[in-house]
Amino acid sequence: MLTKDLLRYHIAGKRIKPDLIDVKDSRLLYFAERLISLYEESISLRRKELDELLKVEINSKRDQKLAKGIVKVLDDRSEYSLAGETPFPALREKLFALSAEMIRNGKLPENMEKFRTESLANVLAGFPRGEVYGDLPENECLLRVRKTFPEELLERYNMELVRSLLLYSSRMEITAGGGEVQELRRVFKYLKFFRLLCRASSLPGKKKGDEEKFSFVIDGPAAILDNSVKYGLLLAGFFPAVCRLPEWEMRSEITLAEGKSHLLKIDHTSGLKCHFENMGAYIPEEIRLFAEYFREKSLFWHLTERSAFRKLPGGENIFADFTFEHSVTGRTFDLEIFHLWHKSRIEERLKSMEKGELKDYLLAVEKGCVKKDPVLSEKLSSSPSVLLFSNFPGVENVCKFLDKASADFLPEQKKKKHRK
C-alpha cells in the first residue's frame, strides 16, 4: 500500500482522479527494470545501504513522488531480516551497564580491541553478526525480493494507487455484469471473506434480453466508527477481486480532508489488473482453520460446497458464510456471521427471518454488537436462530447450536413425534 504522502491524484470539480501511469511507457519500464535489478543485486545489504543506492535512482527522476511510489511497491514485495527472538534491548542494557561501571571505577582499558575480544566477548556473542543495534530498521538485511517483471511492477503501482485511495472511502458502489455467474459468486464470496458491510442487489437489464447485473453498495472505513483502519485494509484487499470481472464500474466517495469528499469513478477500461497469486483459492486463515477443525470434530453435521445464495423479495442478495448439512436427516442450514462493523444489518436480517423470507437460516453475532445495547442483547439471546460468540464462533458451540436449531425448526407434527 502507498502512504498518504505518495498518493498521486488531481481534483476536477467534484471528482478525484488517480494519476494512473502508462504501463507501456518506455522510460518508466526502463526505470522499473533498473529498480528490479538493483534489488536483486542487493541481497544481504542493510536497508540503510540499499536506501543510499535507491536515492540515486529516485533523484534521477523528475517526478520523485512517482519514483518513490514505485519503489514502495517493489519494497513491499521484498523480505528483510528481523530481530527475531534476540533480546537486543536486554543485551544492550547489560553491555552499557558494564561500560558505565568501568567508567565510574576509572578502569578504562588501554587496548580496546583486546578488551572487546576478551572482557566483552560473552556479552557481544549474543548479538547476531556483532550488531549491537541489529534490531533497528535501517540495519535489517535484504533477504529476497519476489520475482517481478517491469511492466508488472507498473501495473501493481496503478492498483496500489487506487487501493490506497480506498482507505479513505466512506462508501463504495460497484456495478458488475457480463461475466459468468460463477465469477460473480466468487466476488460475493470475497465480500464475506473480507467481512465487508455490503448490500448486494440484482439489476434487471435495461432492455428485454439484456444480461442481469449486480450492484454492490459497501460501506467504507470512513463510515465505520470502530476498527476503521482494519476495515479500510479489508476493503482495499477486496477490490482486486472486482478487477477480475470482464465488466465492472466502481464509484466511491473519498474523504482525504475533513469535510471534503470527492467522487472516485473507475471501471474495467482503466486497465487495472489483479496480480494476487491464486486469488481464486484464497481462504482467510480463521475460515480455513474453522472448516478443518469442524470436519475433524463434527460427527453428523458436514460443511457443504453449495454456494449459499439467497435472494430477498426486494431484490437484495445475501450470502451466508457456511452451509451445514446433517448426514442422517439431510437437513441444511445456512449460517451468516455478523462481526462488530456489521451491527447495523442485524435488525434487517432478523425481520427477514421473522417474515419467513429466510428459512433454515441462522445468525452468529459477535458479542461486541450487543454491548451497551440491552434491547438488542435480549432479542438475540432469546432467539433460537442466533449464536453469540467472541472473536470467531467455536466448533463445539456451532455443533450444539445446529443440533438445537434442528430440533426447534422441526414442523409441529414432527416435533410431537420427536418428543414421544
Q: Which residues is 219 bridged to in the sheet?
A: 171
Q: Which residues is 324 bridged to in the sheet?
A: 303, 333
Residues 6+ positions from 249 with CB-CB distance below 8 Å: 174, 175, 176, 265, 266, 267, 268
Contact 248, 174 (CB under 8 A): yes
* Residue 324 φ then ψ, to 5°: -115, 140
Candidates 159, 139, 149, 50; CA nearest to 58 is 50
Q: What is the pLDDT of residue 412?
A: 43
Instruction: Please provide the DSSP assignment of 292-314 as one string.
Output: HHHHHH-SSEEE-----EEE-TT
| Percent helix, strand and coil across the chain, each to the nearest 5 | 45, 20, 30
- How many Å apart are CA 330 and CA 61, to the nearest integer? 65
Q: What is the dihedral of CA 32, 34, 40, 43, to 10 degrees?
A: -120
Confirm whether pTM is higher than 0.75: no
Three-state SS at 124: helix
- How many Å apart are CA 402 and CA 379, to the nearest integer? 19
Could you tell me the three cell numbers for 166?
480506498
Residue 177 one-letter amino acid: G
- Please give the CATH number for the structural domain made up of 285-419: 3.40.1350
- How many Å apart are CA 270 and CA 222, to the nearest integer? 25
**pLDDT of the chain, 420 residues: tens digit per residue:** 899 999 999 999 999 999 999 999 999 999 999 999 999 999 989 899 999 999 999 999 999 999 999 999 999 999 998 655 667 777 778 778 877 777 777 666 666 666 666 556 666 666 666 667 767 788 888 999 999 999 999 999 999 999 999 999 888 899 987 556 667 777 877 777 777 778 888 776 666 656 667 888 887 666 554 556 777 888 888 899 889 888 899 999 998 877 788 999 999 999 999 886 654 445 667 777 888 899 998 989 999 866 556 888 877 888 888 899 999 988 999 998 888 777 878 998 999 999 999 999 999 999 988 888 899 999 999 899 999 999 889 999 999 999 998 886 555 444 444 444
Contact 365, 386 (CB under 8 A): yes
Q: What is the pLDDT of residue 418?
A: 43
Residues 6+ positions from 192 with CB-CB distance below 8 Å: 319, 320, 321
Contact 269, 22 (CB under 8 A): no
Q: How many Cα atoms occupy the beta-carbon half-sphere of 337 within 13 Å?
A: 22
Cα 29 to chain centroid distance, Å, stands at 29
List the chain domain ranges.
4-78+147-279, 88-139, 285-419
Q: What is the side-by-side strand order in the sheet with 309-311?
A: 9-12, 15-18, 260-267, 247-257, 169-177, 213-219, 198-203, 316-319, 309-311
Candidates 78, 180, 85, 72; CA nearest to 126 is 85
Q: E-strand spans in 209-275?
A: 213-219, 247-257, 260-267
Farthest-apart Cα atoms in the chain, separation:
97
Contact 362, 385 (CB under 8 A): yes
Contact 161, 18 (CB under 8 A): yes
Counting every residue written for the chain, the total comes to 420
Q: Which residues is 277 bridged to in the sheet?
A: none
Q: How many Cα atoms occupy the beta-carbon half-sphere of 129 within 13 Å?
A: 11
- How many Å apart are CA 31 and CA 68, to the nearest integer? 11
Three-state SS at 15: strand
Question: Alpha helix locations (H) across 76-127?
Answer: 88-105, 112-118, 121-124
